[in-house]
Amino acid sequence: MAKKVTKIGVLTSGGDAPGMNAAIRAVVRTGLYHGLEMFGIMRGYQGMIDDDIVRMETKSVANIIQRGGTVLKTARCKEFFEYEGRQQAYDNLKDRGIDGLVIIGGDGSFRGAVQFSSEFDIPCIGLAGTIDKDIYGTDFTIGFDTAVNTAVEAIDKVRDTMDAHDRIFIIEVMGRDAGYIALHSGIATGAENILIPERKTDINDIVTSLQEKERRKKLVNLIVVAEGDEFGGADVVYKVLKEKLPLAEIRVCILGHIQRGGSPSCLDRLIASRMGYHAVECLLEGRHNVFVGIMNNKMHYIPLENAVKNKAKISEEWLRIVKILAS
Ligand code: F6P
């Protein structure tokens, strides 16, 4: 029988994502509702190592549900990869009596949590907070919806000027090694080509179709490229296309970190609130070291290590839709 959790620490780790604050709020308020002591750990695992930990009350999370970024700050912590770092983190948590952790982050953060929970007796719950949506075991990650909407808004604007000038635009979106932001924003903006790491691109096909359009004097063409695609992003795609189509007017636009900021969408606030609430319920029910996702609109729990070991897969249906609609 697992020991009852009484003090919970919550942290955000890795790249920030809109909706992380909504998740922190849900964790803190659910814990307080159950009479637990709640703690915010600053700058992810770094705060565990540095003992940068603060008590969280109802007021600490007031007026944050609508804010992007994370009030707990975030970091990628190298020291936590070392055993000594994790031991120091454990000692600090133990001194404060923290006996449960909620980690809001991406797969790198979960890898740290899996390692930590295998070495020390503090259960960890993982919530997917990443704009990349590259996490196995959930239909949604906190931040993806907002990021993709930001990308769509920006791409729509670029399309106006692209159309006015009859230009080709290559727009790069984030996603690290995953193509979800590119795929979703590309479909939603009617991109002619979407380049993602999950699928091989035949650049000659693109060149042929652009040459054909050039003959028809129709050179408006929107190409959405995931930063992690096989060419290594928009600048390289630009060079390859420019070499083959020297007369074409091609421009590059890299959307960058604007995709990580801004007020979270309604969907992100809702999933963050549900996930945060269930994370605390899991700790109280003795459901330890799990990843809390949402599948088919229902809460979905898998061992944290499965979320790390498996890779989220882009569906064939979506890829087929891209091919047909963009032709
Ligand atoms: O994982 C989120 C993400 O925004 C990726 O899409 C991107 O590759 C990376 O983080 C950028 O990280 P940084 O903010 O450290 O440049």
Query: According to the model, what pLDDT value does residue 1 have?
Result: 59
Contacts of 58 (CB under 8 A, 6+ apart): 28, 29, 32
Query: 3-state DSSP helix/strand/coil percent for the chain, to nearest 5?
Result: 45, 20, 35
What's the rounded mean pLDDT across residues 250-269? 98
Q: Is the CB of 260 under 6 A from ligand 1?
A: yes
User: For residue 168, what are the β-bridge partners?
Assistant: 221, 250
CA-CA distance, 79 to 88, in Å (whole number)?
Answer: 10
Q: Is the dihedral of CA 6, 20, 264, 285 positive or negative?
A: negative
Residue whose CA lies nearest to ligand 1 atom number 8: 176
Q: How far apart are CA 284 and CA 286, in angstroms?
A: 5
Confidence band of 63 (pLDDT split at 50, 70, 90): very high
Asked if domains 7-143+264-309 and 145-260 share a fold, the reply is yes
Which residue's alpha carbon is at the smallest distance from atom 10 of ligand 1? 15
Domain boundaries, the chain: 7-143+264-309, 145-260
pLDDT confidence bin for 244, thresholds 50/70/90? very high
Largest CA distance in the chain: 73
Rounded mean pLDDT, 214-239: 93
Q: What is the mean pLDDT of the chain?
A: 96
What is the predicted pLDDT for the residue at 215?
Answer: 86
Q: From its phi and psi, is residue 166 left (phi > 0), alpha (psi between -120 and 50) or beta?
A: left
The superfamily in CATH containing domain 145-260 is Phosphofructokinase domain (3.40.50.460)
Q: How far is the CA of 107 from the centre of ligand 1 (A)?
A: 13
Pairing of strands 37-41, 7-12: parallel
Q: What is the pLDDT of residues 279-321, one digit of tens each?
A: 999 999 999 999 999 999 999 999 999 999 999 999 889 889 9
Q: Which of 16, 107, 132, 145 is catalytic?
A: 132
CATH number of the domain located at residue range(s) 7-143+264-309 in this protein: 3.40.50.450
Ligand 1 in reach of 130 Cβ (< 6 A) = yes
**DSSP category for residue 79:** G
Confidence of residue 213 (pLDDT cuts 50, 70, 90): confident
Confirm or reject: Cβ of 133 under 6 Å from ligand 1: no
Q: Whole-model pTM?
A: 0.97
